[in-house]
Amino acid sequence: MEFLIQPLTLPHIMADSYGFSTTKDNAMVNALLDTSAQRKFDGLVVFDPDGWMERTYSNQLRLDSYRVKVFNTACFCTSAGYNPFVYAKSGISLTKFAAAFVSGTNGYKTPSGIKFISAETALLTALFAYVSNQAPHHEQNFSTVSEMLKCMCSAGESLPYDNDSFHTNAVDYMFDMLKCNKPQCLAVRRYDEFKNMKGLCPNMVIQSCIKRLEPLSNAVMDAYLLNDELDLDSFGTDEFHKTVIFVHAGKSVNFDFLASLLYTQLIDTLCFEIVNK
């Protein structure tokens, strides 16, 4: 299998090419799309901020048996659906998912410090893992994670806990039940890690996580981020229909990190496919 993955080059988000055939030269990408050269690739990922290359080359690519898909963080109504929870099932993929999410949402004004970010990452990893592996499909979204965080707040209060103390809440019970059945699973281990951290105010960590999730936790975004249409698992594996994904990003600070997350999960999927081929 051979792929061309043009790296994401956003001023506030960067994605690594991980050693695949790549180019940061738009002129070179244009040349590849404009000639028969692209026929040698099983899959193409093109960073196309303004959509010009998609409009120019998509029809020709379809004639060359490519399935053309668009991921647009500036206008989700023209974008293929993308649910990152679909591709985050193993411990490694869930850990990368949470790390990429935290890194991509660091633009929000939250308390800084490695220890504080580590606490956020541990908590979000635990919740992402729980939602991805325990929740029904229709609840595998960011809104569910946000609701779980809000459940960690004391009833009738705007703030959860005081200083280092913890009050038992609905989410604690959920993880206690999971611990009885799967004591060594990632969700349980990272939740325990978060709860056992000292010297941090859990209130601030939880509120910071809620803030990070706020742009994604609504009915409109749920509709775009629930049913996955990008089908990254089949990228480049169909001998009859190759795939090109045009990524329109760079205009939305709130949502561009999803493009970075898409790159991370696609490259992980390809690495797994190549290693196990």
State whether 235 and 162 are in the same domain.
Answer: no
Do 261 and 100 touch, CB atoms closer than 8 A?
yes
State whether 69 and 50 are in the same domain.
Answer: yes
State whether 95 and 188 are in the same domain.
Answer: yes
C-alpha gyration radius of the chain: 20
Domain that holds residue 142: 84-223
State whether 143 and 244 are in the same domain.
Answer: no
Q: Which residues contact 270 (CB under 8 A, 6 or more apart)?
A: 1, 3, 20, 43, 235, 236
The side-by-side arrangement of strands in the sheet containing 242-248 is 3-5, 43-47, 242-248, 66-72
Domain end: 179, 204, 223, which one? 223
Alpha-carbon span 268 to 254, nearest angstrom? 24
Looking at the structure of the chain, the number of domains it has is: 2
SS3 45: strand
State whether 200 and 110 are in the same domain.
Answer: yes
State whether 75 and 17 are in the same domain.
Answer: yes
pTM reported for the whole predicted model:
0.82
Do 100 and 13 touch, CB atoms closer than 8 A?
no
Predicted local distance difference test score (pLDDT) of residue 27: 58
State whether 96 and 74 are in the same domain.
Answer: no
Tokens of 252: 């939305």
State whether 18 and 136 are in the same domain.
Answer: no
State whether 29 and 103 are in the same domain.
Answer: no
Domain end: 184, 204, 223, which one? 223
Predicted local distance difference test score (pLDDT) of residue 203: 82
Instruction: Give me the residues paired with residue 183 across strands.
Output: none
SS3 64: coil
State whether 107 and 214 are in the same domain.
Answer: yes
Predicted local distance difference test score (pLDDT) of residue 257: 84
Burial status of residue 66 (CB atoms within 10 A of its CB: 0-12, 13-18, 19 or more): buried
Do 264 and 18 touch, CB atoms closer than 8 A?
no
Predicted local distance difference test score (pLDDT) of residue 28: 52
Report residues of the chain scoring pLDDT below 70.
Answer: 1-41, 107-112, 154-167, 239-240, 251-252, 277
- Run of H or E residues at 4: strand 3-5
State whether 96 and 217 are in the same domain.
Answer: yes
State whether 33 and 131 are in the same domain.
Answer: no
Do 2 and 41 touch, CB atoms closer than 8 A?
yes
Predicted local distance difference test score (pLDDT) of residue 269: 83
Predicted local distance difference test score (pLDDT) of residue 206: 92
